[in-house]
Structure 1
């Protein structure tokens, strides 16, 4: 049986509290999830399933279908004439930017 989409208020992997941050970490920590979000963010227009699959390096159709279902249930992606981030999804990408900057600085520790 497939796991439920992690959402605030639900128990998720590693947490029984239902805290929103734990649901978010469970959701974006899933295989291919951040790549799908990233590709949708950088696309100037909504992407078809096939375009998104190609942009993600031809990941399997079943994995992409599951990730898009989860992102839609989480209200981060919508499907109208293609897939695109919702306003909430775009805000998530903006909020992740400082983590990306931190990771770039962290990389310096290994050089």
Structure 2
């Protein structure tokens, strides 16, 4: 029983680590609007570098959440799109994304109050 629970915990952690990284949810959210070219995604996700977007898209493709389509045109056109599995992820996290947008200022205010009461607290390093 304990071994099965530990195995399940590892499986859950593996998937949550993937979707909980710095860029995945932003990229998945952007692709939720439909197929996008690389530079369209890059412009829509503030702060992401070309290298990190490339890495994120490759990992999402490997995990079956994104499909990369290459069109034989001159110049070649490449588009990224959520797979049906990727759409199920977007359905689950869209509420979390909405919550983050709605409450970002509240969280920032709380951080400011905490930091004022605890100057020099090392826990701030984890928030960024």
- TM-score, with structure 2 as normaliser: 0.59
**CA 1:36–1:103: 2 relative to 1, 3 Å:** closer
CA–CA distance in structure 2, aligned partners of residues 103 and 86 of structure 1: 24
Q: Shift in Å at residue 74 of structure 1?
A: 0.3
CA–CA distance in structure 2, aligned partners of residues 95 and 57 of structure 1: 22
Alignment of 1:21 onto 2:25: no
- Structure 1 stretches lacking a partner, 5+ long: 1-14
Between the two proteins, the alignment pairs up a number of residues equal to: 93
2:61 to 72, 78, 83: 72
Equivalence for 2:22: 31
Contact kept, 8 Å, 2:29 with 2:94, in 1: the verdict is no
- TM-score, with structure 1 as normaliser: 0.67
- Structure 2 stretches lacking a partner, 5+ long: 1-5, 70-77, 108-128
Name the one with the larger helix percent.
2
Cα root mean square deviation, aligned: 2.8
